[in-house]
Amino acid sequence: MSAHPAAARALTLTVSGLCIDVAGRRLVRDLEFCAAPGELIAILGENGVGKTLTLHTLAGLRAPAAGSVRLGDRDIGDWPRRELARSLGLLAQSSEDPFPSTVLETALIGRHPHLDFWQWESEADATIARAALREVDLGALESRAIDTLSGGERRRLAVATVLTQDPGVYLLDEATNHLDPHHQIEVLKCFRRLADSGRSVIASLHDATLAARFADAALLLYGDGSWNFGPVAEVLDAMHLSRLYRTPVHELEFQGRRVFIND
């Protein structure tokens, strides 16, 4: 599905001393971590703790209260927007479709950062988009009008659109939102494969069991400025998750995998 050299995609996202404020509250204080090529990082926390704001700050859509975000050797704010969109893709928590279009036409929006001004999508672009649609089980629906899709199908189309964008760094805000269990697993398998191929993936999730299964590292946001970051084997445990969700969480083992349940 790639349309540009792997070397151009191999960029590390570096977060240093990052502070995120909203409405006079400091949600994240002095955050430090790196997302290197080959890593999938899960962000977990309750509603309202700053998961979406953190992803938007990492994407350069809002300025931090303090600290910096660097992509490769440049501050995120120093990247020209079109060049940044070739290297970093954001899957928003929700999306709107102001104009009627088909499934394939919507997926092709992901190719726009790679096109010159007034340039039309090529057959190569369509091939990339069709491959992305097959990844999310929408290959047979490419001619369907998007207003005929279910909520889960529309979410998978949003995932296909960011796959079509083909960046080196993926920022995913609740990619599994509205998806049934089968498609949750398939979407996360897709991004796990992309990480294994040398991309960086940072994804907010609500399911600690899925995070433990697919992620290399986890960032836990508590909403009072504090956070934990580290390998999932160390950070995702009953103690940390009970504090994170303010309810008792228990860890079980099932068929060699860790499973988390709450009271």
Asked whether the whole model's pTM tops 0.75, one would answer yes
Residue 188 token pair:
């996360």
* pLDDT tens for each residue of 68-103: 999 999 999 999 999 999 999 999 998 776 678 999
* pLDDT tens for each residue of 94-141: 877 667 899 999 999 999 999 877 778 889 999 999 999 999 999 999
- Count CA within 13 A, CB hemisphere, residue 125: 19
DSSP H/E element including 188 = helix 181-196
The amino acid occupying position 164 is T
Burial 154-166 (b: 16+ CB within 10 A, else e): bbbbbbbbbbbbb
Would you state the pLDDT for residue 3? 41
**Integer angstrom CA distances of residue 86 from 5, 53, 135, 170, 258:** 12, 21, 20, 11, 36
Handedness of CA 215, 38, 77, 176 (dihedral sign): negative
- Closest C-alpha among 13, 31, 49 to residue 170: 13
Would you state the pLDDT for residue 48? 95
Q: Residue 129: phi, psi to the nearest 5?
A: -65, -40
The amino acid occupying position 101 is S
